Structure 1
Amino acid sequence: MDWRAERDRALLALEREKRPQARAEAADLLVQLAAEEPSRASEFSEALVRLLADAQGEVRRSGIGLATLVLTPEELPGALTARLSDTDLGVRLEATGRIADLALPELRGALARMLEDPIPEIRFEAARGMAALKHSSGLDILVEALDTDILRFRALGALAELGDARALPAVKRLFGRWLLPAFERTQAAGVLARLGDAEGAEYLLKRTQKKWSADRALAVELCGEVKATGALERLHAILRDPKDPCRGAAARGLGRLGDPKALPWLLALLEDTAAPEDCRLDAADGLWRLGLPEGQARVKAAAPTFASPEAREELAELLQEKP
């Protein structure tokens, strides 16, 4: 079906439909159509204006998602900050979260204002954004979010990024909590290790031995990210076992570990065309983050050896990232 015809039908539905649910679905469809192919973005400019001006909050919320696809990096911050005073809390929440994701120093003031919003979820998004900017003004909000099930995992990620040792007692209490879900305990261990607590790194290394645990891949990657003692040897052992389901996580972890000794190991996996493409992509990720010129050059040269368009597209996106 022609995507332009679908776009026009969705816009017509926004004009004619009275049912809020149907109008919200039409707005979501516009975002999906624009996201499917980046080259289409310019043809959704009028739709963006229409969504952001709509009287229905859910539709304006979709407009924020469309703005991230349609607007230039120079235009987007202004469009998002303009929505921070929206009467719909969902719009404010979406805008604050998108601003947090941008992690732009010039938007620190906008995030600081949202730390005072009456809605806890909005304050959390603002605190997460401040953490990404290495600013501790939202520390108390992130610590408080550790007691909220739906926010806990993301709060731990933000605290790890912030790296403020004042969070250590709260994270340590959480880590020792009875019946804490495995993923959250492993994430908490990663934060402890980042903040200099040896117990966190020890837990991560032990967790890599639990072959059938659902959180093992997270533990494997975090071992490299926090540079746990013994991580190089442990991750290498996982990487060289073609039957280990966490082989890709080990490749990513080795890249984050940053030890040049991993270069030949990762190159061997990248250039092994008999290996699964997802593992080879993980090796490319590890090499790119390792930051060595030889590894990065070989990643670029490996692009034609990936058979699927999806893998080549993922590799192209990786090459756009700053190592």
Structure 2
Amino acid sequence: MMDWRAERDRTLLALERETRPQARAEAAELLVQIAAEDPSRASEFTEVLARLLADAQGEVRRAGIGLATLVLSAEELPEMLTARLADADIGVRLEATGRIADLALPQLRGALARMLEDPVPEIRFEAARGMAALKHSAGLEILIAALDDAGLRFRALGALAELGDAKALPAVKKFFSGWLVPAFERTQAAGVLARLGEAEGVEYLLKRTQKKWSADRALAVELCGEVKVPGSLERLRSILQDPKDPCRGAAARGLGRLGDPQALPWLLALMEDTGAPEDFRLDAVDGVWRLGLPEGQARVRAIASTFTSPEAREELAELLQEKP
């Protein structure tokens, strides 16, 4: 097995000696991958982080932001990201704004507000998405405008659902009723409508949960829980408890997001069923954890050793660090 420290040092040396921009960017990304393979390595990448963030090439600095999320503490990361918002490179500003949006920290609202004025539309969108996560409507018009952008509209709909501002209703209704809207996007729009109390959104989501062979069914199932569709508790239960239903995992995640304690024993039954597919069991773990009940959390910790694949163990470790 290759020594990861030797690989790190070799890749860093290649970055310093290489002159071709693409090759240098690839080397920087490889350094991030090496660090990401094992969280315990983070402390040994501090000097590498400083090197990437100080690089003259924007793509390398952008990779440095990704490395910073692995190396820096929760207290250190916001300051570093905020400092990158003034970078001359568009990619760096975009990466930093998106990372700040993902943090959803109230103390960073001012930083996001400034980026709503950035000349680059994609950066303004990331800032608006972050403001929506903070339940602030300053970026509402940017999110509505993004419904006309095929590359952004799915995430824009998700942000509008999270924001929950009724001023978005006319635009979302128009999009939802449009011709040739892709199934996933129409279902996502239905989720926004349901979140805002519109009956047509509720009805659409429930109907999609019955379309067993539709590609967007899993999304509809999970959204029923996330936006707390009336009547979804029993609907999701029936899907969860059907061994032949391919959307059992989506139902488990949806029940966790629904937040009804009645779902705990149903989720525990799937989570602790060692004969069930591992991905379904992991979805049940996610649902149990999101319910936030002490009994469920204790049972999650108790069954962690029954998952054997490295991927499952890594996912569990990350989940246990999250606040329910």
TM-score range, shorter chain: over 0.9
Q: Say whether residues 1:122 and 2:123 are aligned partners.
A: yes
Counterpart position of 1:181: 182
Q: How many residues align?
A: 323
**In the alignment, residue 206 of structure 1 is paired with which amino acid?**
K
1: CA distance, partners of 2:12 / 2:285:
41
2: CA distance, partners of 1:70 / 1:295:
31
Secondary structure of the corresponding residue to residue 84 of structure 2: coil
RMSD (CA atoms): 1.2
1: CA distance, partners of 2:230 / 2:137:
28
Counterpart position of 2:302: 301
Secondary structure of the corresponding residue to residue 213 of structure 1: coil
1: CA distance, partners of 2:296 / 2:53:
45
Q: Say whether residues 1:51 and 2:39 are aligned partners.
A: no
Secondary structure of the corresponding residue to residue 135 of structure 2: coil
171-180 vs 294-303, which moves further: 294-303
Counterpart position of 1:86: 87
2: CA distance, partners of 1:3 / 1:309:
18
1: CA distance, partners of 2:24 / 2:210:
50
Matches for 1:273-284 after TM superposition, within 5 Å: 273-284=274-285
Per-residue CA deviations over 1:248-270 (Å, capped at 9, x if unaligned) read 11111112122222222112111
TM-score by length of 1: 0.97
Counterpart position of 1:200: 201
2: CA distance, partners of 1:31 / 1:312:
21
TM-score by length of 2: 0.97
Per-residue CA deviations over 1:213-251 (Å, capped at 9, x if unaligned) read 111101001111112122112111111111110011111
Per-residue CA deviations over 1:140-164 (Å, capped at 9, x if unaligned) read 1011011100000111111111111
| Identity level (%) | 85
Counterpart position of 1:292: 293
The gaps in structure 1 that reach 5 residues or longer are none
Matches for 1:152-167 after TM superposition, within 5 Å: 152-167=153-168
1:121 Cα deviation after fit: 0.4
Counterpart position of 1:253: 254
Per-residue CA deviations over 1:15-37 (Å, capped at 9, x if unaligned) read 21111111111111111111111
Matches for 1:29-68 after TM superposition, within 5 Å: 29-68=30-69
1: CA distance, partners of 2:54 / 2:248:
48
2: CA distance, partners of 1:226 / 1:7:
44
Q: 1:192 touches 1:201 (CA, 8 Å); kept in 2?
A: yes
**In the alignment, residue 232 of structure 1 is paired with which amino acid?**
L
1:304 Cα deviation after fit: 2.1
Secondary structure of the corresponding residue to residue 212 of structure 2: coil
68-77 vs 121-130, which moves further: 68-77
Q: 1:269 touches 1:283 (CA, 8 Å); kept in 2?
A: yes
2: CA distance, partners of 1:3 / 1:307:
24
1:58 Cα deviation after fit: 0.9
1:200 Cα deviation after fit: 0.6
**In the alignment, residue 211 of structure 1 is paired with which amino acid?**
K
Counterpart position of 2:18: 17
2: CA distance, partners of 1:293 / 1:68:
29
Secondary structure of the corresponding residue to residue 230 of structure 2: coil
1: CA distance, partners of 2:247 / 2:269:
17
9-18 vs 33-42, which moves further: 9-18
Q: Say whether residues 1:105 and 2:106 are aligned partners.
A: yes
Counterpart position of 1:227: 228
2: CA distance, partners of 1:280 / 1:91:
38
2: CA distance, partners of 1:100 / 1:229:
30
2: CA distance, partners of 1:315 / 1:65:
22
**In the alignment, residue 52 of structure 1 is paired with which amino acid?**
L
Per-residue CA deviations over 1:45-79 (Å, capped at 9, x if unaligned) read 11111111111111111111111111111111111
